A and B are shown apart, each in its own frame.
Chain A
Amino acid sequence: MNKLRPVTGRLLKSVAIIATIIILNFLLIRLAPGDPAAAMAGEAGAADEAFMAQLREQFGLDRPVYEQLAYYFADIVRFDLGYSYRQRESVLGLIMDRLPATLLLTISGFVVALGLGLLLGIASAMRVGRVTDRLISLFALLFYATPLFWVGLMAIMLFSVWLGWLPSFGMESVGAGYTGWARAADIAHHLILPAGTLGLFYVAVYTRLTRASMLEVKDMDFVRTARAKGLRRGLIVRRHILRNAMLPIITFAGIQAGQLVGGAVLTETVFAWPGIGRLAFDALLQRDYPVLLGVFLVTSIMVVVFNIVTDIAYRIADPRIEVAS
């Protein structure tokens, strides 16, 4: 496929980037004050020199750095991201445990943001200067300027505390023991507030972006050509204006998609959502380095992957890219 050909080059580059991230990761451990043995000894309470030396030998910390790096690489290739002594569980297990929750939240937020943002943006651009446009723009500005956590807290106040419509924390009702569709409905119920909160900020961004982009394309020559052909308005908007206005939106969606895993720390904290963001936040507070580095690696890989996806999306949306790149 012609469209995918340059992507192979990108793939090779991506592998190199991920390798660099792994090395940086490894060096970060080195940079942390005290070695892992000291950290472990600290966790244990107290330790003498002999115990430390024994720990170092046990974990290979007395070997040369390059050898340790090789081991680290070998482990990662086998998907072994280390072990969290604090949580008494493998890092990969911890991450895999939390990843679905985060992806559920962030992808819902992403879809809400993109879908609603596009709709509002289009509505706004098509009625530019009129009441609808003013209202939408005001709404967008409001949510663009309001801090995410505050929106979250206020939403909890309104929908959970005062109205009692929606649960305010967690992903499922504790001890309800739902299964099947009942469980899915329960999770969806819990999802509304955090996904809505997360999405609102980006709804504002996409609304503004779509509106500006559509207004720019609207006055272009080829839109006039489309009108001269006698096309119906809906078709002009869809095929000519929107398709061209999508390009900057794809760019931004790509950037946002890269943050799907790591970008929800605030929301997860406010709504006690059991996701990666919370995991990383807790690991940071507890100096649980293996977990932190594991999260770092997974989020980096996500960014790289979504950059490639964006590239492909761009190539499909704009046939000129292929030649220019």
Chain B
Amino acid sequence: MSQRLLTVEELTIALPSAGDRVNAVENVSFHLHPGEILCIVGESGSGKSMTASAIMGLLPDTGVTVRSGRIQFRGEDLLQMSDERFRAIRGSRIGMIFQEPMTALNPVMRIGDQIEEVLEAHNVPKANRPERVLSLLKAVGLPEPEVLARRYPFRLSGGQRQRVVIAMALALKPDILIADEPTTALDVTTQAQILKLIRDIQRAQGMGVIFITHDFGVVADIADRVAVMQHGRIVEIGPVRDVLDRPSNAYTQSLIGAVPQFRDRPLALSAGAEPVVRVRGLSKTYVTQGGLFTPIKEFKALDNVSFEIHRGETLGLVGESGSGKSTAGRCLVRLIDPNGGAIEYKNTDLAKLSRPQLRPFRSKIQIIFQDPFASLNPRHTVGQSIMAGPLAHGIDARTARERMTRLLIRVGLDASAADRYPHEFSGGQRQRIGIARALAVEPDLLVADEAVSALDVSVQAQVLELLRDIREEFQLAMLFITHDLRVASQLCHRVLVLHNGRVVESGETTSVFRSPRDSYTRSLIDAVPGQEWLRSSGGDPTVRTFA
């Protein structure tokens, strides 16, 4: 047996007494060999991030404590170590990268200085540091290291920032890299690049990597071994092919079953002849206010986008961040005013209407947002939130209340939910409330803006199921905005691929994904993680690949 780099033995981490369970992590044991990538998979609250924080000595100081267990690194127990000894290991022998690249860097410090700090903290002589910083920036594939080192983080994209964080974590060639959902906040194409970067460096340096993720596609692409966590315990651990293809645990099976896959047959559609909404040449240009000495900058968020959606039909709007997909959705409900183009609804051009003229049409097009935590007023009961729309449109209180109760039950909640506040519900439940709120005004068109992106896969699958049922039942037209092609493929009859505000490709979903004509669409599809696994595990991936 090869030498173990890290051994975690019976680790138990206690939560503060107010928590909903006693331990965040319970009796967790695993080990890591040099040159191995161990993925820890689980849904939110499974304790996977907490485990990583414990190894790194970064548990939040709000009552979360290690109750028992050992974390052996090269024969020493990290938990018994002095603070100073642990500090010397942190950042030099064990590096860590985080989920949110946008907030992981100090906003008021230059990139170069932030990387140099690692070298400073671990006693690299001052004279060698600048050169090391530049070579690190180059090693993680960032352009113009000299320029970049002098930049502040806000000038960099999410992918670039994540590369900077990786450069910091790898500055001293650590033995172990802990990656806590490092690609979750990134676009698929960026995700594919970052995964490749981590893999390449890991191979070159023979590092051991603990990679935390909720995405089985990512697991399939990079893991050597997998540990599946649920409620703070490891329910299954083993080599990647064993766990993915022959999961022995019921929970693992259900998680893998919930992974969205590309659909192989077009969705049947009995759409009406007349479209519910017809969008023509929609454009939105943002102009930044020029100062006395600063030039005016223009940014075309949407450039001449046209589409129509029929009754009962779902149109997917896919693209990466900045592609203009959310702008399109917001223009449609007129949360943003477009600069040009028409939004035709029942012979009226909604784009031309003034705000008061628009009011009677507001109820006809409704939107569900991505963040179920931020989109409900925390000081209104769920019932109030759902009834506010109907009441504002002149429906009497009795009818509004009846409708609200009916909808709560329809979206799978209890009628008693009406008197409770949003914070009492989980993410998936709040998204159900958001759907009930949108349906309460009886819309013809529903815009779902990344409505399932923040949810765990199992919850995501349930909410998608709900959306599918509702679409059939109410014969709703739906604009489904997402960055996840697999989800789009599950739900959408047709898709529109947006890139830099323009439509690069559109058509029936399965045919677009199976044989994309545009190179950008193709690169999006190729970047979807876990395709090889899906192909080999018997499922028809239905997607042409160019590997």
A residues within 8 Å of B by Cβ? 5-6, 8-9, 12, 219-222, 224-232, 235, 239-240, 243-244, 317-320, 323, 325
Which residues of B have CB within 8 Å of A231?
87, 91, 117, 121
B103 within 8 A of A: yes
Bound form: Cα–Cα A232–B88 in Å? 9
Please list 30 pairs of residues, one from A and one from B, whose beta carbons are closer than 8 Å in the complex, sorted by A's number. A5-B293, A5-B294, A6-B291, A6-B292, A6-B293, A6-B294, A8-B293, A9-B292, A222-B106, A222-B107, A224-B58, A224-B104, A225-B104, A225-B106, A227-B90, A228-B95, A228-B169, A229-B90, A230-B90, A231-B91, A232-B121, A235-B117, A243-B108, A243-B109, A244-B108, A317-B108, A318-B107, A319-B108, A320-B108, A325-B291
Other A-B contacts than A230-B122, A244-B108, 20 sampled, CB-CB below 8 A, are A12-B292, A221-B100, A222-B107, A224-B98, A225-B106, A227-B58, A229-B90, A229-B118, A229-B168, A230-B89, A230-B90, A232-B121, A239-B117, A243-B106, A243-B109, A244-B106, A317-B108, A319-B154, A320-B108, A320-B152
Which residues of A have CB within 8 Å of B165?
225
B470 within 8 A of A: no
Which residues of B have CB within 8 Å of A240?
106, 109
Which residues of B have CB within 8 Å of A235?
117, 121
Query: Among residues 82 to 108 in chain B, which have CB atoms less than 8 Å away from a CB atom of chain A?
Result: 87-92, 95-96, 98, 100, 103-108
- Which residue of B108, B168, B291 is within 8 Å of A9 (Cβ)? B291
A226 B90 Cβ-Cβ under 8 A: no
Bound form: Cα–Cα A113–B356 in Å? 52
Which residues of A have CB within 8 Å of B60?
219
Which residues of A have CB within 8 Å of B106?
222, 225-226, 239-240, 243-244
B481 within 8 A of A: no
B122 A221 Cβ-Cβ under 8 A: no
B39 within 8 A of A: no
Bound form: Cα–Cα A237–B458 in Å? 41
Which residues of A have CB within 8 Å of B387?
none
B305 within 8 A of A: no
B98 A230 Cβ-Cβ under 8 A: no
**Interface extent on B, as a size class?**
20 to 34
Which residues of A have CB within 8 Å of B89?
230
Query: Count of A-B contacts with CB under 8 A?
Result: 91
Which residues of A have CB within 8 Å of B109?
239-240, 243
Which residues of A have CB within 8 Å of B104?
221-222, 224-225
Bound form: Cα–Cα A27–B463 in Å? 67
Bound form: Cα–Cα A317–B152 in Å? 12
Which residues of B have CB within 8 Å of A318?
107-108
B56 within 8 A of A: yes
Q: B116-144 toward A: CB 8 Å interface, digit per residue (1/0)?
A: 01100110000000000000000000000
A226 B117 Cβ-Cβ under 8 A: yes
Q: How far is the CB of A125 from chain B (nearest CB, A)?
A: 13
Which residues of B have CB within 8 Å of A244?
106-108
Which residues of B have CB within 8 Å of A228?
56, 58, 90-91, 95-96, 98, 169
Bound form: Cα–Cα A219–B107 in Å? 14
Query: Among residues 517 to 531 in chain B, which have CB atoms less than 8 Å away from a CB atom of chain A?
Result: none
Bound form: Cα–Cα A220–B103 in Å? 8
Bound form: Cα–Cα A230–B168 in Å? 11
Bound form: Cα–Cα A228–B292 in Å? 43
B88 A230 Cβ-Cβ under 8 A: yes
Bound form: Cα–Cα A317–B117 in Å? 19
Bound form: Cα–Cα A226–B291 in Å? 35
Q: How far is the CB of A14 from chain B (nearest CB, A)?
A: 13
Query: Among residues 74 to 88 in chain B, which have CB atoms less than 8 Å away from a CB atom of chain A?
Result: 87-88
Q: Which residue of B lies closest to A316 (CB)?
A: B108
Bound form: Cα–Cα A243–B117 in Å? 15
Q: How far is the CB of A204 from chain B (nearest CB, A)?
A: 27
Which residues of B have CB within 8 Å of A8?
292-293
Bound form: Cα–Cα A227–B56 in Å? 9
Known A221-B100, A224-B98, A229-B118; judge A323-B154 contact (CB<8 A).
yes
Known A229-B117, A239-B109; judge A222-B154 contact (CB<8 A).
no
Q: How far is the CB of B320 from chain A (nearest CB, A)?
A: 22
Q: B472-506 toward A: CB 8 Å interface, digit per residue (1/0)?
A: 00000000000000000000000000000000000
Q: How far is the CB of B21 from chain A (nearest CB, A)?
A: 22
Bound form: Cα–Cα A8–B95 in Å? 46
Which residues of B have CB within 8 Å of A323?
154
A225 B154 Cβ-Cβ under 8 A: no
B103 A222 Cβ-Cβ under 8 A: yes
Which residues of A have CB within 8 Å of B293?
5-6, 8-9
Which residues of B have CB within 8 Å of A225?
98, 104-106, 165, 168
Which residues of B have CB within 8 Å of A320?
107-108, 152, 154
Which residues of A have CB within 8 Å of B58?
224, 227-228
Which residues of B have CB within 8 Å of A226?
106, 117
Bound form: Cα–Cα A130–B205 in Å? 45
- Which residue of A5, A222, A319 is within 8 Å of B105 (Cβ)? A222
Which residues of B have CB within 8 Å of A12?
292
Q: Which of A9, A220, A222, A235 counts the most chain B CB atoms within 10 A? A: A222
Bound form: Cα–Cα A5–B105 in Å? 27
Q: How far is the CB of A219 from chain B (nearest CB, A)?
A: 8
Query: Among residues 332 to 366 in chain B, which have CB atoms less than 8 Å away from a CB atom of chain A?
Result: none
Bound form: Cα–Cα A228–B177 in Å? 11
Q: Which residue of B lies closest to A128 (CB)?
A: B61
Which residues of A have CB within 8 Å of B91?
228-231
Q: How far is the CB of B167 from chain A (nearest CB, A)?
A: 11
Q: Which residue of B lies closest to A222 (CB)?
A: B106
Query: Among residues 149 to 170 in chain B, which have CB atoms less than 8 Å away from a CB atom of chain A?
Result: 152, 154, 165, 168-169
Bound form: Cα–Cα A221–B60 in Å? 11
Q: Which residue of B lies closest to A217 (CB)?
A: B106
Q: How far is the CB of A221 from chain B (nearest CB, A)?
A: 4
Interface pairs A-B: 5 shortest CB-CB: A230-B91, A9-B292, A221-B103, A230-B90, A229-B91
Which residues of A have CB within 8 Å of B154?
319-320, 323
Q: Which residue of A lies closest to B118 (CB)?
A: A229
Bound form: Cα–Cα A235–B120 in Å? 11
Bound form: Cα–Cα A221–B104 in Å? 5
Which residues of B have CB within 8 Å of A6?
291-294
Bound form: Cα–Cα A221–B153 in Å? 13
Q: Which residue of A lies closest to B105 (CB)?
A: A222
Bound form: Cα–Cα A226–B90 in Å? 10
Query: Among residues 270 to 301 in chain B, which have CB atoms less than 8 Å away from a CB atom of chain A?
Result: 291-294
Q: How far is the CB of A173 from chain B (nearest CB, A)?
A: 48
Q: How far is the CB of A307 from chain B (nearest CB, A)?
A: 17
Bound form: Cα–Cα A230–B121 in Å? 6
Q: Which residue of B lies closest to A5 (CB)?
A: B293
Q: How far is the CB of A236 from chain B (nearest CB, A)?
A: 10
Which residues of B have CB within 8 Å of A229?
90-91, 117-118, 121, 168
Q: Which residue of B lies closest to A239 (CB)?
A: B109
Bound form: Cα–Cα A5–B106 in Å? 25
Known A220-B103, A318-B108, A320-B107; judge A230-B118 contact (CB<8 A).
yes
Which residues of A have CB within 8 Å of B152?
319-320
Which residues of A have CB within 8 Å of B121?
229-232, 235
Which residues of A have CB within 8 Å of B98?
221, 224-225, 228
